[in-house]
Amino acid sequence: MSKGNIQSKDGFVQRNQWRLILGGVILLLAALLGWKYYDNRYPSWYEEVRLSDGRVITIHQKHEYFDNYGTNQSWVEINLPELGGKRVWHSYLMPMRVDVLQGVVYVFGRPRGSRQLDYYRHPINQMVAFKWTTNEFVRIPFLQVPEIFRQEENVYSCVPNPRSRSLTLKIKDQTWCEPSGDKGQFAKRIDLPAYKKLADDMAALSNWTNRSE
């Protein structure tokens, strides 16, 4: 084999090696961009939650989140003996509370915008509640939630900012979701009359009369 042929063969091998390296880099960048997109659209985190009976459990939250809108839907994985193990509460809500009374698990949250309000038929107290019955979360009128649970949130309803993979009780005690509303009336402490007024205002804007509890 001539020297020229050897050099040509070496050059061909080198070009193929560079193509393979470049292809690998492109695939890696594509994977990283895909993960970044998914992580931004579906942020998730583990979170410690103190129940009213004193127990501290760890839940896992995942939200479908849009930068110009907020939470569209959410998934909350809860592990409790009263549920028979791990269960996922999926809703089109911003979760606000998970708790247990006399062996019954209650959860509730609030709609983020008009699409969610329409889906839940503009609830008169703005918040939407469920309880666990045998094998599923069943919707109930919000005022059927024990009054002690309707006083305050114990679940992070917003997406943590800055993003976090774990929220301990200490972190949650130090910082909570930013209050919303024109007077900051929607905060960790639940102001039911303020929520009811917001619900009435939103229903009036949408000309919604057949509302849910």
Average pLDDT for the chain: 88
**The pLDDT of residue 19:** 64
pTM, to two decimals: 0.82
**The pLDDT of residue 145:** 98
**The pLDDT of residue 161:** 82
Mean of pLDDT values over 76-91: 97
Sequence length of the chain is 213
Residue 61 has pLDDT above 60, yes or no: yes
Cis peptide before 162 (omega within 30 of 0): yes
**The pLDDT of residue 52:** 97
More confident residue, 209 or 145: 145
Query: What percent of the chain stands above pLDDT 70?
Result: 82
**The pLDDT of residue 11:** 61
**The pLDDT of residue 162:** 75
Q: How confident is the model at residue 41 (pLDDT cuts 50, 70, 90)?
A: confident
